[in-house]
Structure 1
């Protein structure tokens, strides 16, 4: 993390800490102690103390619990999202901000299960292979951040999620068999949600514009779409309308070539059963 990122991270954590302390001290007719907040949010006094001092990790479930306790209408959830976003490299931060408010997310991947749908075990295996010299603590932090991104799918109004996976994603065993089975089970569970579609593009599908890499299409509340592309150590956001239009056309072609939702779920189920 660069010095600039560390400063952003500390600023976001400081805001979260200040709002927590303020809400606790101004609660109803009398202030709540850290012990009482810990009990009411099913954490602990030590956790609340560390968060208020800006030195401890914020548990994933704490922001929502604080919003319920203090009736703050998502304020702590939004502050937590800022904390998460600030830990990503600058080139990813804009993507994270757009993703958190998107009304539709369309994913195309020919290499791995997209981050929004990864299990912790699958993410850990990929991150470890991508950075074999990283410490266990660093890998654990990266996994935590990736899992935190997925909270956008668990809110009251999740975005419409459309995913197309190359069949090679299912066949490529990037993790131990039990981890892959759990990942496929998670895919099937997500695909069963009414706001989600998971499709598989067969290996014999024709060539297309997006053949050289994965892409994410994020549509904002004002119905503007940007395309996020990633490659080795690089990432970018395409917002030129003409380039976005061409990429969307390619995505629709891929979707047209993909198996139906039912066939795709059957293909995922079959691949999972091979790992028993």
Structure 2
């Protein structure tokens, strides 16, 4: 069995291709500059080959890039077994390239649909010792992620949330109401589906972990989970299949999209 392409190798290859094209270079030309074959560079750009560190340094030089633009990505590769620990920047890059984003959250509204005030309250609560400027910096990064939904070719977004997320008054009543208003509006947009697991369901497959499955136009699917301190990509086929199985199990206990929208509206009206 072939070893699956690692997320960081995929990210490194995509970065090299992007910078090569920005410089107006063909694969043949760039490969010649670093004394490698066109096949080597093609495999590198598609994430199927792990280069030597010196080759990455040479690529930075001939592409005219600042030092460590590519090396910082390369250095992540050694941490990717068995459950690669990643910086959140790597997740943001993958999320921005995804064609379909499937997410499940039990406790809060997912970040892609959070209002600024709701997100700020969550960030501050999760980092009680953070300075205000740190909170604002993290908030800006979260809001920037939401820009993918305003693109001409936005990803398809499938969200499953527990009713608990609708009921928790993050930030207080006013912020809570505003967040539900945004969720109602988003649930009616083309390309966004929001489904709710009602409290009456009781035990279900998603009580222990939030997760995301990213699907791409020309790359294998990957799953992403995170804990309080770090995030993890899970890319092996059996891992991704396992998370798809959980996602499908959750769909068996959700309300339909139409019924979920009415549930969100009723929750908002009671506030």
In structure 2, C-alpha distance between the alignment counterparts of 1:212 and 1:271, rounded to whole Å: 24
Deviation at 1:96, TM superposition (A): 1.0
Q: Determine which of 246, 251, 261 is the counterpart of 2:257.
A: 261
Q: Corresponding residue for 2:243?
A: 247
For structure 2, list consecutive stretches of 5 or more residues without a partner in the other structure: 1-21, 23-68, 74-84
- The whole-number CA distance in structure 1 between the counterparts of 2:86 and 2:148 is 20
Conserved? CA contact 1:108–1:163, under 8 Å: yes
193-202 or 219-228: which moved more?
A: 219-228
Q: CA RMSD for the aligned pairs? A: 2.1
Residues 17-56 of structure 1: pairs in structure 2 closer than 5 A:
none
Q: Deviations over 1:88-135 (max 9, x none)?
A: x95222211110010000010001111111110000000111112222
SS at match of 1:105: strand
Distance 1:247 1:197 in 2: 19
Cα deviation for residue 226 of structure 1 reads 0.8
Q: Distance in 1 between matches of 2:205 and 2:253?
A: 13
Distance in 2 between residues matched to 1:221 and 1:96, nearest whole Å = 17
- 1:133, 1:220 → 2: CA distance? 37
Residue 122 of structure 1 pairs with residue 118 of structure 2: yes
For residues 194-231 of structure 1, the C-alpha deviation after alignment (integer angstroms, 9 at most, x for no partner) is 10000001123364443311001111121521111112
Matched with 2:186 is 190
Could you tell me the TM-score, scaled by structure 1's length? 0.65
Structure 1 partner of 2:129: 133
Match of 1:221 in 2: 217
Unaligned runs of 5+ in 1: 1-18, 20-81
Map 1:174-189 onto structure 2 (within 5 A).
174-189=170-185
Query: How far, CA to CA, are the matches of 1:153 and 1:100 in structure 2?
Result: 10
Give, in whole Å, the separation in 2 of the partners of 1:246 and 1:206: 22
The answer on 1:167 being equivalent to 2:166 is no
- State the match for 2:102 in structure 1: 106
Which residue, out of 227, 230, 254, partners 2:226?
Answer: 230
Deviation track 1:229-255 (CA, whole Å, cap 9, x = no partner) reads 112212211111011112101101211
Matched residue, 1:205: 201
- SS of the residue corresponding to residue 128 of structure 2 reads coil
Contact 2:160 2:197 in 1 (8 A): yes
Moved over 3 A (4+): 206-210
Is contact 2:86-2:233 (8 Å) kept?
no
The residue matched to 1:257 in structure 2 has which SS? coil
TM-score, structure 2 normalization: 0.66
